[in-house]
Structure 1
Amino acid sequence: MVLGYKAMLAEADAVVRSVSIDEMTKTFSDGDIVMVDIRDPRELERDGMIPGAFPAPRGMLEFWIDPESPYHKPRFAEGKTYVFYCASGWRSLLAAKLAQEMGLDARSMRGGFSEWKTASHPVVEMPKR
């Protein structure tokens, strides 16, 4: 049986702590939190990103988190709380679940970058490739 995306989201929502945009604006400056933008590079170039966030495309996440991978990024070995976000919150919810399963203290930001931007929070432009 194939598990549909709605079931996958419900399963992830049951085990991942999600945080609101308001919570993030109050705690983002905390040095123990890393915001992780999992949108693809085209989205970052087109829409910008949250200042100080770490860009990590969803398709590379497993490889970047795993310290045994030749693609491992040390940013994921800092022992911090990782708050994942995407455009709307669906991909980041699944990413946070995966990151939890891989041993990280992971959260998902409800509403994603779209709500962040709509609320007029700071956004930085990404250089075009």
Structure 2
Amino acid sequence: MAVGIKELMARAEAEVRSVSHTEAQPMTQDADVVFVDIRDVRELEREGFIPGAKHAPRGMLEFWIDPESPYHKPWFAEDKTFVFYCASGWRSLLATQVAQEMGLKAASLTGGFGDWKRAGLPVEERKPK
């Protein structure tokens, strides 16, 4: 194997801004910040999500971000900062790296939704938009 997950993660960590759940929680009130949950829909249904978050499945992320894609989501074209998260922060770290490469202002939630939930921060149980 030429490159493994450890090296990919190390590269992403060097390039990506990461925020802890403590730093991220007040950002949920900022109209210029969009939280993006990239977990599988079954994870959302089972665990809930950060209130107000949008859902963008990891497998569709690049297609939803690119305005030239037939799958583009207009909310990704807004002049906002996007905070990506997954369960533990690994998938979202790589997703944030890709989003930055595609021109978005982005950050990754360190420790993911797991740390958020363990900290007792607000969790919403309905499906995100």
Q: Distance in 2 between matches of 1:83 and 1:124?
A: 17
Q: Distance in 2 between matches of 1:124 and 1:27?
A: 16
- Residue aligning to 2:62: 62
Aligned AA (2:55): P
Q: Which runs of 4+ in 1 moved over 3 A?
A: none
- Residue aligning to 2:34: 34
Aligned AA (1:103): G
Superposed CA offset, 1:17-75 (max 9, x none): 00111111122211110000000101001111111001100000000000000000011
- Residue aligning to 2:123: 123
Secondary structure in structure 2 of the residue aligned to 1:82? strand
Secondary structure in structure 2 of the residue aligned to 1:79? coil
Superposed displacement of residue 95, structure 1: 0.2
Q: Distance in 1 between matches of 2:60 and 2:46?
A: 20
Q: Distance in 1 between matches of 2:124 and 2:96?
A: 23
Q: Distance in 1 between matches of 2:27 and 2:67?
A: 27
1:13 equivalent to 2:29? Answer no
Q: How many residues align?
A: 127
Aligned-residue Cα RMSD (Å) equals 0.9
Q: How many percent of aligned residue pairs carry the same amino acid?
A: 66
1:51 equivalent to 2:51? Answer yes
Please list every run of 5 or more consecutive structure 2 residues that lacks an aligned counterpart in the other structure.
Answer: none
Aligned AA (1:123): V
1:74 equivalent to 2:74? Answer yes
Q: TM-score, normalised by structure 1?
A: 0.95
Secondary structure in structure 2 of the residue aligned to 1:84? strand
Aligned AA (1:110): T
Q: TM-score, normalised by structure 2?
A: 0.95
- Residue aligning to 1:113: 113
